[in-house]
Amino acid sequence: MEWSKLKAIFDKYKLVIINAGVLIVLLIIICWYMFYNTNNIDSTNNRNIGIDDSTEIINKQNKMETKSGKTSALKNENKVSDIFVDIKGAVKHPNIYKMKNIDRVKQLVDKAVLLPDADLSKINLAERLQDQKVIYIPKIGEKVQENKALNNNAINNIHSATTEDNTDSSNLEKVNLNTANESQLVLVKGIGPSKAKAIIEYREQHGAFESVEQLKDVKGIGAKTLEKISSKLTV
């Protein structure tokens, strides 16, 4: 009896039941499709984000390395050190001056003090100074060729005084122990900055040197050093 009732109900509502079943199946298929596609999209996006992040990190590292290299090069270029520069010509105090490698010609000229007839039209005051550089200040009306010749001779003299070879010291002008400043003393082979300072300090404390041999009383100058430098010095 119950089966007959169920069959009668099914026959009566057969179309409704079939349509409902089809609809449920379709809903299940649609939900599954949407869920599958969503996972694929998320996975693809994650992969793309990972690639983009890696690329961005690499680019940042490259930029940092480039910036670091430029900064290091700039620091080396701007590293301050002592140099010695010779200035000659139309100045009140021609001499060898101890300067910094970042100084300009203008700062050297200010130390040497220009003469009234100095001609600065041929001088680049903004030029950065270089070690062993010779700056020649011409007088008004002085020929340029003469300046070049004198400049070349001065450069050769500076090079001869500072190069560490076996050149005969008798060809070089002797340095006076009682009048030379630190920058002049260091040009003598065998006298470094520390010995030059010691010589000047001794001179200030004990007065003028009476002989070159008196250098043996200066701290840091022994008999061997005195033997090497005595021919280049005078009092």
pLDDT tens per residue, range 98-122: 999 999 999 999 999 999 999 888 7
Q: Which amino acid is at 57?
A: I
Q: Which residue has the higher pLDDT, 150 or 96?
A: 96
* Cβ–Cβ < 8 Å for 137, 109: yes
Q: Which pair of tokens denotes residue 223? A: 């008999």
Torsion of CA 187, 130, 179, 107, to 10 degrees: -170
Per the DSSP assignment, residues forming a β-bridge with 99 are 83
The secondary structure of the chain in percent helix, strand, coil, rounded to multiples of 5, reads 60, 10, 30
Beta bridge partners of 12: none
The arithmetic mean of pLDDT across residues 29-48, rounded, is 72
pLDDT bracket for residue 129 (50, 70, 90): very high
Selected from 1.10.630.10, 3.40.50.1220, 1.10.150.280, 3.20.20.70, the CATH number assigned to the domain covering 169-235 reads: 1.10.150.280
Predicted confidence (pLDDT) at residue 10 exceeds the cutoff of 70: no
Counting Cβ atoms within 10 Å, is residue 177 exposed (0-12), middle (13-18) or buried (19+)?
buried
pLDDT above 90 covers a percentage of the chain that reads 18
* Collapsed DSSP state (helix, strand, coil) of residue 176: strand
Separation in Å, CA 83 to CA 21, 98, 111, 201 = 98, 6, 15, 21
pLDDT tens figures, 164-220: 444 443 444 788 988 889 888 888 888 889 888 999 998 888 888 888 888 888 888
pTM: 0.35
Tokens 């994650």 sit at which residue?
A: 46
Q: Determine the pLDDT at residue 20.
A: 81
CA 75 – CA 68 distance, rounded (Å): 10
pLDDT band at 87 (very low <50, low <70, confident <90, very high): very high
pLDDT, tens digit, for every residue of 147-160? 444 444 544 544 44
Are 230 and 213 contacting, i.e. CB atoms less than 8 angstroms apart?
yes
Crossing angle of helices 14-77/2-12, nearest 10°? 70
- Is the CB of residue 192 less than 8 Å from the CB of residue 176? no
For residue 42, what pLDDT is reported? 60
Would you state the CATH architecture of domain 80-163? Roll (3.10)
Q: Mind listing the pLDDT tens digit for each residue in 40-51?
A: 666 655 555 555
Name the residue among 113, 161, 164, 120 with its Cα closest to residue 142.
120
| Sheet with 134-137, side-by-side order of all strands | 95-100, 82-89, 134-137
pLDDT band at 8 (very low <50, low <70, confident <90, very high): confident
The confidence score (pLDDT) of residue 160 equals 46
Kindly report the average pLDDT of the chain as a whole number.
Answer: 77
